[in-house]
Amino acid sequence: MVVASTIAAVNLAYPAGLTGRAFAANSTFKGLMGAAAPALAALLLQVASWRRILFVNLALGTLAVLAGGRGLPGSRRMQKPHMLTGGGR
């Protein structure tokens, strides 16, 4: 579900000519964070308890949601597809 929403957000945020670069940058960032996350988590747990880390994460998540609400474009209304009637022309 997260991957699908990320793809949709990148597709909406960038013009058609830049979506390839945007997807490449997004994938690179995800790969780097996926590799660095376990080491970063281990370092954080040496300094603070998991409860403190959770509260910091909740605050950062709230800020990200607020920033996304302001920075991302609004939803596009899709029109209903017209149903074929009477012989399927």
Of residues 76 and 37, which shows the higher confidence score? 37
Contacts of 68 (CB under 8 A, 6+ apart): 9
Coil, helix or strand for 59?
helix
pLDDT higher than 90, residue 12: no
Domain assignment present for residue 53? The answer is yes
Tell me the C-alpha distance between 45 and 56, whole Å. Answer: 13
Give residue-wise pLDDT tens across range 39-58: 988 998 999 998 998 998 89
Task: Look at the pTM and tell me if it is higher than 0.75.
Answer: no
- pLDDT score, position 47: 92
Residue 87 lies in a domain: no
Instruction: Report how many domains make up the chain.
Output: 1
Q: For residue 45, tell me if it sits in a domain.
A: yes
Could you tell me if residue 84 is inside a domain? no
Note whether residue 77 is domain-resident. no
| Residue 46 domain-assigned (yes or no) | yes
Domain of residue 49, residue span? 2-69
